[in-house]
Amino acid sequence: MTGTIGTQYRALGGASCTDFYVFDSGDVPQRWHWNGSSWRNVPTGSKYAVKTVRAFAANDIWAFSGSASQGFHFNGTSWRQISIPVMDVHTLVGTSSSDFWLLGAVPRSTTLVAYRWNGTTWTKGSLPATYKGFLSSTAAAASNNLYVFSSTTTPGYLRWNGTSWRHEQVPSGLTGYAQDIAYAANTLWVTSGRDFLRLSNGQWSKQPYPVVDDRNGLRIFDLATDPRTQTVFGAGWVGEGEVGDIRKAISENVAQAG
């Protein structure tokens, strides 16, 4: 991949390691496609950067800009712009392209909003007024069990139970940063950057990261689930950039209930 120095890559999504898209935030935002052997890029068609991508299948990929109420859909042959509700999109959560939620805010406002797509139309949902966090990380356990977290666990989190969005809490002794979340094998994982929080069988607990041979320890900031094996993967680094070498690290943690 080649691009302008300083360009940031804001979103990534696809169906496999040989078929995925990366979106940048250059002056003319580009959509990059990796086919397993080479990159190809074209303008997205918008002056606003795409910040949210979700692939439900190789021929069913959705992308949304963070502002300007813009959405795009790939049908396996071509990308086209789609109509979405007036909102600044923060994130997406759902289990299929005929049942997912867009969550974000009213433009130029901090008022949070949520819209549900049923495959045909958008319907506005209701979020608890008590929730004062951001809408940052998401995980979908099932169509009636969706999670949305802020950047910390202090304000609690949102959970869709199939009927309504609920504002739920992490026990006070376990609160901290929520860098990313993932769900596998009946367990919700939250990485703080220094350790894991686990929600299993309705109980929260803390779990340390794997031990590494570095006095600064392991830092994990991104999580992803392989649905084929119900395995959670974490990506981050070992050590601290300010004191020496940063060595990229990937930690595998098979999520087990209990």
Q: Is 30 a member of any domain?
A: no
User: By C-alpha distance, which of 77, 79, 49, 86 is closest to 64?
Assistant: 49
Q: Is 86 a member of any domain?
A: no
Determine the Cα–Cα distance for residues 186 and 27; give it in Å rounded to an integer: 43
- The 10 Å CB-count burial string (b at 16+, else e) for 209-239 is beeeeeeeebbbeebebeeeeebbbbbbbbb
What is the rounded average pLDDT of the residues 75-94? 97
pLDDT digits (tens, 9 = 90+) for 196-253: 999 999 999 999 999 988 888 899 999 999 988 999 999 999 976 543 344 444 444 4
pLDDT digits (tens, 9 = 90+) for 145-192: 999 999 999 999 999 999 999 999 999 989 999 999 999 999 999 999
Q: Is 212 a member of any domain?
A: yes
Residue 104 structure tokens: 């974000």
Q: Is 229 a member of any domain?
A: yes
Checking if the pLDDT of 5 tops 80, the result is no
Q: Is 187 a member of any domain?
A: yes
CA atoms within 13 A on the CB side of 32: 23
User: By C-alpha distance, which of 121, 115, 86 is closest to 103?
Assistant: 115
What is the model's pLDDT at position 214? 86
Longest CA span, the chain:
54
Count of domains forming the chain: 1
* Phi, then psi, of 20 in degrees rounded to 5: -150, 165
Q: Is 59 a member of any domain?
A: no
Owning domain of residue 236: 179-258
Q: Is 46 a member of any domain?
A: no
Query: Under a CB-based contact definition with an 8 Å cutoff, are residues 73 and 32 in contact?
Result: no
Determine the Cα–Cα distance for residues 95 and 110; give it in Å rounded to an integer: 27
Q: Is 81 a member of any domain?
A: no
**What pTM value is reported for the model?**
0.89
